[in-house]
Chains A and B, each alone.
Chain A
Amino acid sequence: MANTEVLMAGFGGQGMLLSGKLLAYAAMYDGKEVSWLPSYGPEMRGGTANVTVVISDKPVGSPYIIEPSALLVMNGPSLEKFGARVKKGGLIVINTSLVAVACERTDVTVVYVDAGGLAVKAGAARAANIVMLGVYVGYSGIVSHDLAAKMIEKEFAEKAKFIPANLAAFEAGYSAGVESRKGGA
């Protein structure tokens, strides 16, 4: 397997760093080599926050990636900033609840998901990041559904009341991802 490099970006506080961590954890338990490299800065909330997760069969070389194979964006500025960088043949997942514009690229697969809307339906308005994770896992199959779901349960183990809604958000995203794959392929 070649390296899989996933860039996840949004406003600070939207939880993309957490989504990245859950993906990295799942891949690690799957026996893969992983790295998780966040942008860090003074903007703890509201600024842009992104994380790059690299998943590989070999020890990860550079965790710093200019051209990722997949991009998950929660907001417009992130699409603007990173949209052009995705490798040809790569994947862009766009949260339409906050991104009004379409991606103009024709050399990548673009998946549009109303992550905010699906999160609200799942009963956790703040879980749009988990919907995005679900979409990516569903579309790419990079890790199994069950393993990713287990990571969510593990992450929220100390706040168990959040588990059902986050799992529901993940399911909604996962189904959307699987559907896109069928439709696109």
Chain B
Amino acid sequence: MKKVFAFTDGLTRLPTHYCPGCTHGVIHRMIGEIMVELGIRERTVGIAPVGCSVLAYKYFNCDMFEASHGRAPAVATGAKRTRPDLMLFTYQGDGDLASIGMAEIIHAANRGEKFTTIFVNNAIYGMTGGQMAPTTMPRQRSTTTPAGRDPAECGFPIRMAELLTTLTTPAFIARVSSHTAAQSVRAKKVIKEAFEHQMAGTCFTFVEVLSICPTNWGLSPKESNRWLEREMMPYYPLGVFKRPQESTGGDHGKH
């Protein structure tokens, strides 16, 4: 009989606490598999954020930090600079990275810190119960924008991948999605490339992963997938925005 599924050694066997339909688990699995495929699990240190994935340190089968809210890129900087032989990744949500941790991510990227950031964008604050995130869409309802996000009051959602692409420092910057099997296969390839760049010591690597939050969006997983495609993907286009060889000499990357 053909084996079609097996646990990956890159994750622990603990069941995750994530809500039904959430794709954090899928993204965790991609990273876990990549650590095993690249043979780096035993020299990888991951950094969990504050947010839904605050407990990610329980699920990744490698050494793990829990950082304070938004500071994972600073923690990773301290670790990677002093132990460049280790593989470092931060796993951060949209509130953690694009709101409270904006300074840390921009400066880590701009210094060209040689770690990998996985940025999970589900357009909402999940753990605290559905408040507005910097990536919440215009008119999208949240518990702190009950009438929908009004750009006149709250501004427009921040496109992190594009924002970081404006930096001159060489980097690998991409946006992928995790909402379907096909997209997840593509996402994993891109994340793997990010880790490979880190292994080669090339550059800062950043992969934004679009994700759904059925619980706080108030939609079924199926509806959530449709909403992501209809509302988020046009505003947050997928692609590799910047590759190290493209980003020298002030070339700000190609879409």
Q: Do A and B touch directly, given a CB cutoff of 8 Å in the complex?
A: no
Identify the B interface with A (CB < 8 A).
none
Identify the A interface with B (CB < 8 A).
none
